[in-house]
Chain A
Amino acid sequence: MGSAAAPLLSVRELEVHFPTSDGLVKAVNGLTFDLEAGKTLGIVGESGSGKSVSSMAIMGLHRGTNAKISGEIVLDGVNLLDISAEEMRKKRGREVSMIFQDPLSAMHPYYTVGNQIAEAYRVHNDVSKKVAKQRAVEMLERVGIPNPDKRVNDYPHQFSGGMRQRAMIAMGLINDPNLLIADEPTTALDVTVQAQILDLLQDLQREFNSAVIIITHDLGVVAEMADDVLVMYAGRAVEHGPCKEILTHPEMPYTWGLLSSVPDLTGDTEARLIPIPGNPPSLLNPPPGCPFHPRCAHRDKVPGDLCRTELPLLVPGQRGETHTKRCHLPNPDAIYATEVLPEIAPDLAAGAAPTRAEEL
């Protein structure tokens, strides 16, 4: 849209490297994206693609470790990589907060849920314990915990998995942050509970108008939650754009692979899944050129040896400025329509709208 207002979060050329005894682990490389207030960005990618590491970088949680970070993370006009540890601490939990995958291990087993939520409030607000606890009860009520004034005194192990994640969300939102990062918030939960939590996150986002980054490896979750999608591979963004655009017109073979390797609830059961061959690359010695080339089925369509020698830039393709991808393929749209789509969704390829197969 080219809006005049600066985005809430602007990440530029973020690099996170870990020196280890085996060598330098290049966990995140040249990551660049923007996120506007009130919007949701979904980050997807395989295990080890750098999703958690980059979100921890935004939270400033690599401070004090041996991680080497460069680039820019600008939140509300302040570069988080420039400010002091103490300034970053004051932003943590107040301007940007995070919820984690496993809510049981993410909560301290020895303190009550209420204590842990109230603590998050008190550290940024000069209030009495009593006021903070009252606030915790309100938040628990808001995230749908029944009898919040009693449950506030429970310990995490007395909560069910879904309730714990609700409590984590309450903790994350208690200071009304501008940015909430949810790192696989539902991976440890059952589908019916996952649905509850996703609904809750959506409701709260509308209410608090926070920007949300939701990290997941489940494209279905992204499809339901996100405005924008960022696909990561080997520590790099390989495709980025509006959610619907990416899901209907993906331009990068890795995204194609992600879409084609999961069955869905309506697809043809006779069709075989099309896996991505091989394994994710090593981050110690990433492959030269396009990091996906050892597994890419379409590299022969790129003239010359480009895929093996030259890292493609993250640039807009044929579908407008907002949809960027990192691939040398000159005509991804055509390949997707003729080669990929017929395999994963013949009904879509034929132009028919997908319906639930009601008939036998």
Chain B
Amino acid sequence: MKDEMSDESANAGMVGMAHEMADDRALAARAAGHGAAVAMPGAKPILEVDRLRMYFPVKSPGLFRRTVGQVQAVDGVSFQVAEATSLGLVGESGCGKSTTGRLITRLYKPTGGAIRFEGQDIADAKPAELKPLRREIQMIFQDPYTSLNPRQTVGSIVGAPLAIHKVLPKDKILPRVQELLEIVGLNPEHYNRYPHEFSGGQRQRIGIARALTLQPKLLVADEPVSALDVSIQAQVINLLQDIQNEFGVAFLFIAHDLAIVRHFCPEIAVMYLGKIVEIGDRDSIYSNAHHPYTQALLSAVPDVKQAASGSRIERIRLQGDVPSPIEPPSGCRFRTRCPIAQEICARHEPPLLQIGKRHKVACHFPGRLGQAPREPLTAGLLGVDSEGRPDPGASPSTDLVEQPGYADTWFDLDNKSIGRA
């Protein structure tokens, strides 16, 4: 099976040879051909998301609510989260981070794609099948003010999952609740207080305690610190790190603060308008970003140290705002704001290409800042010329399906060769 794929893509590469820059493309094609995903060495993925899609219908107002469009909130997103590690999901408002999180916790039913939790696909699971799952996957919400029921005591909020899932006899619940409050740094004696008696940071701790109650294996944290003051943010981040170290919980950590994500997550996925544009380990993303959007995001972050020492890197000014996910731009969704966009970008969506051991990027012109290649790297793969027009001589690679994990071979942009693990 694997050999077959390689052959086919090699074939695509051969045809690509006919063009200049052919070797690049051939290599890219071959690298992309190795579809079989290999999990992170040593750590097996607890969660695997495969081409996940979520389209929300847009309805017309009035009595007859016809569907007049779709919000492509999440459109073909694939990634893995390894056991006891964290994957960070960053991107601007509306790019689909929360929706991804809600799909994984199955608060929404996906439009398409698979969500494999410990190998089992839960994308189509029915409510009854989901119940055991709710113990394993928990969510922490952004807003500590609205995510807690104001009429319930902290004890009953934190203990509710225990009662619902009947894991503990009634008389054992309170001690467990107090234990949990202790873990998250709250006074265990305060179990009978109400949420409004706590500060924002403390409320977020209550939310975390509730999420921990059933000892989940995966926590989806949706902007867990965005609503908190800076000084309190650090408390909560440290708490989450302690929890991960102590209980071996895996995190899908959603945030828009790039510095916090860098601090918390060894792996990061950058989303733009419903798609992952770049994914990789910390160094690949923060020190070796190859996607123009990632580069722009990073350069836009105001940074104390850089400003104070005067060593500010040149800021990339992106024009305009994020377009509407109802009618996303054709081809590459970033092209309306991309400083290096070319014709092919409007015609074809760039595939997510693996360019490092743990680094993938979806761009026709991937490269370090200021070093983007002149010719599209992906033309051979897509069977088009460098403007993106169909190339009658070329046969596109049939195997551009994005796999959740990383392959053990990739296209090494620096050496123009196939990299191997």
Contacts and interface: CB of A to CB of B under 8 A. Distances in A.
A194 B321 CA distance: 11
Nearest to B259: A263
Contact of B234 (A162, A275, A353, A355): A275
Contact of A273 (B237, B303, B317): B237
A353 B233 CA distance: 27
A280 B235 CA distance: 13
Contacts of A192: 92, 296-297, 300, 318, 337
A190 interface: yes
A123 interface: no
B311 A267 contact: no
B287 A355 contact: no
Contacts of A88: none
Most central of B201, B234, B309 by chain A CB within 10 Å: B234
Contact of A223 (B202, B262, B288, B304): B304
A321 interface: no
A354 B234 contact: no
B166 interface: no
A223 B298 contact: no
A202 B296 CA distance: 19
A161 B260 contact: no
Contacts of A280: 199, 229
**Chain B, interface size: which category?**
35 or more
Given A162-B321, A192-B296, A354 B232 contact: no
B258 interface: yes
Given A247-B304, A262-B233, A274-B234, A190 B93 contact: yes
A149 to B, nearest CB: 19
Given A261-B231, A275-B238, A276-B231, A354 B258 contact: no
Contacts of A243: 308
B317 A358 contact: no
Interface string B226-264: 000111111101100100000000000000101110110
Interface string B72-110: 000000000000000000001100000000000000000
Given A279-B201, A354-B311, A196 B318 contact: yes
B229 A191 contact: no
B56 interface: no
Interface in B353-370: none
B282 interface: yes
B7 interface: no
Interface of A: 46-47, 160-163, 190-196, 198-199, 217-221, 223-224, 243-244, 247-248, 257-267, 269, 272-277, 279-280, 345, 348, 353-360
14 contacts: A46-B230, A192-B92, A223-B304, A224-B307, A262-B233, A262-B304, A265-B303, A266-B303, A273-B237, A275-B235, A276-B231, A354-B311, A357-B287, A360-B288
Interface of B: 92-93, 199-202, 229-235, 237-238, 241, 256, 258-260, 262-263, 282-283, 286-288, 296-309, 311-313, 315, 317-318, 321-322, 337
Given A196-B317, A199-B315, A261-B234, 15 more contacts: A160-B321, A161-B93, A163-B321, A191-B300, A220-B302, A258-B230, A261-B230, A261-B233, A262-B260, A269-B262, A273-B237, A274-B234, A275-B234, A276-B231, A355-B311
